Amino acid sequence: MGDRRVKANRAQADYFELLVAQHICHLYKIRFSYSKDLATLLNKILTVPDGANRLKLQSENFLKLAPKLKKILSYEISKKGKVIEVIWIGRKLTIKTTSDVDAEHITHKFTRFSIKSISKNGLGTIKNLGMKSLKEYLNVDFSSGYKIMWQELKIFTKEFKLPNSKLKKLVLKKKGFLEFAIKNGRKYQSKLN
């Protein structure tokens, strides 16, 4: 049963990502190219004893986030033009992006969403919402963890006076710094999950 549950957990996360992709397509009248994937995931989740409850939970959580998705995209459209395609990155490993769903604009710029499924026992994020919205919509306060994460990065890099925005640029240029930041960030991401 353990392996089946792990696969259902992954399917549940993918299902949530596809709910986001489908919603964006619906908002902007774009063809949703992942209907078969969504159906496959739905069937896979239903194979576990609590599958129906998992689907219900993901759908309810998605409904809480849907209005914020529209706000984000409305802002992005004002800067980048209309959305012309929605791409589900899913489990494809790529160095170019950490996003799960990309909305491509007519200008060939992207709005990228990195999505974490929200389970019954844990917390999840949609990074584009930001910490303020995480607290408002999901009652998740990560501000103290966020400060500690940046402080640990400043200690590692020995760059105590740099603002976070400049430190981020420095980290992206130096492989050792980037490796530390990724490893350290995963520790905090697992706390959010």
Question: Which tens digit of pLDDT belongs to each residue from 125-154?
Answer: 444 445 665 566 556 667 777 788 889 989
* SS3 assignment, position 84: strand
- In eight-state DSSP terms, residue 38 is H
pLDDT of residue 62: 87
Mean pLDDT, range 149-166, rounded to an integer: 89
Given a contact cutoff of 8 angstroms between Cβ atoms, the answer to whether 12 and 119 are in contact is: yes
Per-residue pLDDT band for 114 (boundaries 50, 70, 90) equals: confident
pLDDT of residue 25: 96
Backbone dihedral angles phi then psi of residue 17, each to the nearest 5 degrees: -60, -45
Please determine, for residue 29, whether its predicted confidence score (pLDDT) is greater than 50: yes
Residues, the chain: 193
pLDDT of residue 136: 62
Per-residue pLDDT tens digits for 67-113: 888 888 999 999 999 999 999 987 665 445 567 888 999 999 998 88
* Spans of all domains in the chain: 2-138, 143-192
pLDDT of residue 168: 85
The stretches of 28-129 forming alpha helices (DSSP H) are: 35-45, 51-80
Q: What is the distance between the alpha carbons of residues 112 and 109, in angstroms, rounded to a whole number?
A: 10
Per-residue pLDDT tens digits for 45-69: 898 888 898 889 888 888 888 888 8
Please give the model's pTM, rounded to 2 decimal places. Answer: 0.61
Backbone dihedral angles phi then psi of residue 36, each to the nearest 5 degrees: -65, -40
pLDDT of residue 127: 44
Please determine, for residue 121, whether its predicted confidence score (pLDDT) is greater than 50: no
Question: Which residue in 101, 109, 93, 124 sits closest to 38, CA to CA?
Answer: 101
